Structure 1
Amino acid sequence: MEEEALTTAWFVERVYRWFTLMTSRYIGTAMSMFKQDAHDEAVAFLREFMEIFAHVSIKSNRRDQFKPVQAGVLISTSALQIQHQLLSVHKFKFVLLCRLTQDALENLFSCIRSRHPVPRALEFKLMLRLIMLSQFFKPSRKGSYDIDDSVDLLEFVEMKKAAQKNSVEAAEVELLTDSLLDDDAPPLDDVQMESLVYVAGYVTHSVSKKFKLCDTCRQCLQAEPVEQNEQLLKLKSYRSLSQPNPLTRPSGHVVSLLQHADSVFRAHEHDALTVSLASLTNAALDKCQLANSFPHCHDLQKRLTQAFLMLRLRITLRKLQQGKDCKGKMWIEKCWNEGSCLSDSLVC
């Protein structure tokens, strides 16, 4: 292999590791004092990378020029000072460096430019106000964007006053003791079961991709895939019947679990403003007698139920927004607050 190829491979490997650290979204790549050696190694690497980019020579017309990419790398990597302050002074358990980049700003701009690629000043102002008040983001289909459940643009004013808190707590306790386990929701018909199987495949794929699962958990998700009510799943694959389906086929016990969770949610959908996501999750798990069908090593049953109920909250939110319901703002606040708490609890 030529020497130039080895140099290029070394440079690409350095850039890849820098990008992994600077866009860390999981504890495995976060800056933390739990593993002091790994933290010190990451800090030393980032400082070395800054030195490399500060002195790298990028020629244009045979003259050295300091390019914007160099300034961007130096500015982004200056987050090392912030992470040191958060870990050492404020005693944070870990810091995700992706929260210190401009990704959130770029995602916001992609939402603003969704209707008009080059908005005028008034259009920009109206779209920005709409997005900040609703806290509802829709990722762009033309780019590699994804929904971030754990970040908000502004803090909501606390809507629950002291009297309302007491009534909400009393209502939640009453629901937990009496009605959450009483399933009055009608059974799903064949068309609704088609949709549930499709959503179950999405939830299965999302959980297996988001969390680091063991081989036992992954085998449980793939064992005995459902063979009924999968016409919508085949249709959504946009493939001929002779070709393999690229979409995830959920297992039978996953569909049964989410069917019980959906039944609990539909029975108390009108009370969802006064019942927390954790209460609905516990009620769904108590009602479903499938404890022996799932491994207990990574709490797979609870993660699947939480992800499904969070998705049901988002679907209900979209319906309320389209219908311009007067309770839409309360639903928006609840849905995003539940999503933030869910992400924090599962990550931490």
Structure 2
Amino acid sequence: MMHIRDLVLYEASSGLKMATGLTTSDVDFSRLQNNFDKMKVGNSTKYFNHQVAAALKVYSIQMNRPEVLTTAFFIENVAEWFKIVTSRNLQTALSRKSPADYDRTVQFLNTFRCFIFRCKVGEKAYWKPWQAAMIMATDSLLRLQRYFLDRGYDFVLLARFTQDCVENIFSQLRAKCKTPRALQVKDNLKLITIGQIMEEVANSSYSYDPKEWLVSFSDKLNTARTTVPESTIPTVHIGNYWNATNNIGTFQASEENSIYYVAGVVLRSLLNRGTICDQCIKSCTDGNRNTGDLALLTSFRDYNGNALIYINLETYVFFSALEKIFAQNIVFLQTIKYDVNTFLYNLMIKVEAKHFASCHNIKDKIVNRFIIFRLRSSSTKPAREKRYDSKSMF
């Protein structure tokens, strides 16, 4: 827990963070939480995911703390296990049509089961209930998948063996009373059954998507547009942004890795949308991956070595200039009602990028995509309505 806290505090002042899903309140482990919050899967996956593991690896190298790698190893393995046992699509399903992938997954589950069994928790090496639960769940799923695949099934979705339906019923039963008595459970169950037939239930225990506020974000800003006197718009100097010496080292080391990773994500999204071609990507990428420490986060998050894009130094300098412009103006944009897209675009489009291919106007597409991404990531998210829903992992 202290390693995760140190990571969050290390990049607390950064605009772009490696562990984007964690805030300082998330690592305040002295704060008391009720039992219902502890049971929610969303509160656990904030810490146990591949992104946090990769961020810890980068933090370990940058701060010369090799002991952090133990935490990164544990988080990475738990996150991989959770991804396998909650597979809900054909891409992550267990299937023998690809023997290599199937053997690799089964071997990981067997190894993970032994790993959890040998874990020593705390200074006195206590055995914890969660260890027994994870071992029992893994062993049961291994036997179930073998049972069905031996009988001719093409694939097995392990997430279908969870108790979501039972958890949803429990959530509804506790909606009005957190600890109902037997008679209350019986009466509430009757009401829930009638309600399911008569009307669609608005609130349920399914995983909540916290990014609904991102829909039509730019349109909402444009509807609040107003005229701003020219004197109130800050002056931004563009001239020095293209100087590589001035840009490299102006950000914290973790923030440089984040900028490099975001640049690859933006280019990947443009390529997947078909708005740019392979020639455009070739002008932005580094086939030899000679960008050194800048690509640490990207390399750790690249799960198969070919899933992410590695940009060249010129493209990194371009993106760091865009980030510098955004960081200088974010406070100003939050205090007024203004067409922020146009304002930022007019500033960012002036940054030189002579190395970009000219076939698909890639510079314009990158600027527009980067503005949308940074406005989304920097905006305050609305508070979620508190519900007493149980989302245990088993």
- Pair in the same fold by TM > 0.5: no
Q: Which has the higher helix share?
A: 1
State the TM bucket, normalised to the shorter chain.
0.3 to 0.5
Name the TM-score, length of structure 2 as normaliser: 0.37
Higher relative contact order (CA 8 A, sep 6+): 2
Name the TM-score, length of structure 1 as normaliser: 0.42
